[in-house]
Amino acid sequence: MPTDLWDKQVALLMRDYPYDSIMAARVLGQGYAYLLTAMAHRGESLGLAPSTLVDIGVQTIILDTVNYAELCNTYNNGHFLHHVPLVEFKNDGSVIKTAHRIAADGWEVDLSLWTDAATCGPCHPGNDSH
């Protein structure tokens, strides 16, 4: 990822949330780890879901649509990974299972960003969405 893109997205998080640069980078990093894991397992119906904090990073990445489309093109074989939020949170343990899947895929997991909703996830599981 280009440094200028990372810096822009960290700055967006700092603009929109009460984060310093360290917290913004943590949230963004976990957002990327989540999205890239979801893309790597597309079609496996794992029911991956981010925590509330990690979802903030995910949404920041997705809202930068030109760069997000390129991310999908590069890491998801040209398939767009849709974001389909649900109104109700699930109580199925999907968030903590997702953190474990991310770790199993070799990403560093900042567990303190995943424990705020350890048994809930707001996203619709599916083959082409998260």
CB atoms within 10 A of CB 8: 14
pTM comes to 0.88
Percent of the chain exceeding pLDDT 90 equals 68
What pairs with residue 85 in β-bridges? 123
CA 38 – CA 83 distance, rounded (Å): 11
Q: Which two tokens stand for residue 45?
A: 């119906």
- Name 78's Cβ contacts closer than 8 Å, sequence gap at least 6: 72
pLDDT tens digit string along 64-91? 999 999 999 999 999 999 887 777 777 7
pLDDT in tens, 108-125: 999 999 986 544 554 555
Quick one: residue 115, left, alpha or beta (phi over 0 = left, psi -120 to 50 = alpha)?
alpha
